[in-house]
């Protein structure tokens, strides 16, 4: 695989550049997380304080640094700014650096990072609103399939089978749960999300994602039910756990599968 560019920049400077680029993209993800659930444009208007409505100056919009300098509050009205904003930026920066270190400076590193960005956006929206916006998952399905023609470790047949298996398995699970309990369990957004995940990481990744997300989701759900004392009435978004499973497969899937089959069983 040929790198997307050759550069004379020293490795440390290149890593810093990749990390800062990820921070900036994380700032844009914050806009998406805030506006997409309300079906607002992510382009216009420019970023502004949700309390006083004053536009945020570029000096106050530098990822993480501005938050620290402003002490986590709006310069004009002093309204507190959620710690989530720099947190999303930092996570995005870390994943930008991680994809570069893991996959190198190649086109598939960019594809996987953008895939992770979509998962991060979906995760925080699902946590806040318990919805997974179609504007991310539905376009993500054909984009993931098209990307399979550029990814070195994913054949287009694996991608096609992955999206069919991903969407189909959760759809059948949702129908079965509704038939047995008479209640809606798995949301349609989760079905489309797993189809998108399958398109990007293939059918093997779907199996891994479902297994890992179910395990983590069950553990977290039990802890939250014990804490809240709401029992099975507690609704927990499943999108974040699917996203965690997909990202784990992206970086550690083959190693974890080998460990499970050879050392654990």
* Residue pair 48/118 in contact by the 8 Å Cβ criterion: no
**What's the pLDDT score for residue 7?**
53
Weakest mean pLDDT among 132-136, 193-197, 249-253, 256-260 = 256-260
Answer whether residue 209 shows pLDDT above 70.
Answer: yes
The two structure tokens encoding residue 198: 């399958």
Place of tokens 């650096």: 97
Average pLDDT over residues 118-131: 95
How far CA 128 is from CA of 43, 94, 119, 261, in Å, comes to: 22, 22, 14, 37
pLDDT of 218-246, one tens digit each? 898 888 877 776 655 567 888 999 999 99
Within 8 A by CB and 6+ apart from 54, the residues are 48, 74, 76, 77
Classify residue 130 as exposed, middle or buried by CB count within 10 Å of its CB (0-12, 13-18, 19+).
Answer: middle
* Residue pair 47/55 in contact by the 8 Å Cβ criterion: yes
pLDDT of 35-78, one tens digit each? 999 888 888 877 877 777 778 887 878 899 988 988 888 888 88
Answer whether residue 181 shows pLDDT above 70.
Answer: no
Answer whether residue 185 shows pLDDT above 60.
Answer: no
**What's the pLDDT score for residue 56?**
81
**What's the pLDDT score for residue 246?**
96
Answer whether residue 135 shows pLDDT above 70.
Answer: yes
% of the chain beyond a pLDDT of 70: 87
- Mean pLDDT, the chain, rounded, equals 86
**What's the pLDDT score for residue 1?**
46
pLDDT of 89-107, one tens digit each? 999 999 999 999 999 988 9
Average pLDDT over residues 202-210: 93
CA distance 154 to 214: 24
**What's the pLDDT score for residue 59?**
80
State whether residue 55 is helix, strand or coil. strand
Average pLDDT over residues 134-139: 94
How far CA 26 is from CA of 84, 95, 174, 193, 198, in Å, comes to: 11, 10, 33, 20, 24
The whole-model pTM stands at: 0.87
* Residue pair 119/246 in contact by the 8 Å Cβ criterion: yes
**What's the pLDDT score for residue 81?**
85
pLDDT band at 2 (very low <50, low <70, confident <90, very high): very low
pLDDT band at 255 (very low <50, low <70, confident <90, very high): confident
């Amino acid at each position: 695989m040929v790198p997307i560019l050759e550069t004379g920049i020293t490795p440390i400077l290149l890593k810093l550049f990749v990390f800062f680029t990820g921070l900036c993209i994380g700032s844009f993800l914050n806009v998406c997380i805030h506006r997409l659930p309300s079906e607002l444009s992510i382009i216009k208007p420019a970023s502004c304080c949700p309390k006083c409505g004053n536009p945020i100056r570029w000096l106050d919009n530098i990822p993480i640094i501005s938050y620290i300098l402003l002490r986590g509050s709006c310069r004009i009205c002093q309204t507190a700014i959620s710690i989530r904003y720099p947190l999303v930026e930092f996570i995005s920066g870390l994943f930008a650096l991680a994809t570069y270190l893991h996959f190198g400076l190649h086109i598939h590193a960019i594809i996987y990072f953008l895939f992770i960005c979509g998962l991060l956006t979906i995760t925080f929206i699902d946590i806040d609103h318990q919805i997974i916006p179609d504007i991310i998952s539905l376009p993500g399905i054909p984009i993931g399939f098209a990307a399979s023609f550029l990814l070195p470790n994913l054949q287009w047949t694996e991608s096609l089978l992955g999206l069919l298996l991903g969407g189909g398995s959760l759809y059948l699970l949702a129908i079965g749960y509704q038939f047995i309990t008479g209640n809606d369990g798995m949301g349609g957004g989760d079905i489309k999300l797993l189809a998108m995940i399958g398109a990007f990481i293939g059918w093997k990744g779907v199996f891994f994602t479902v297994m890992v997300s179910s395990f983590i989701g069950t553990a977290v759900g039990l802890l939250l039910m014990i804490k809240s004392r709401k029992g099975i009435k507690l609704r927990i978004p499943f999108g974040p756990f699917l996203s965690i499973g997909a990202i784990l497969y992206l970086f550690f899937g083959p190693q974890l599968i080998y460990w499970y089959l050879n050392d654990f069983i």
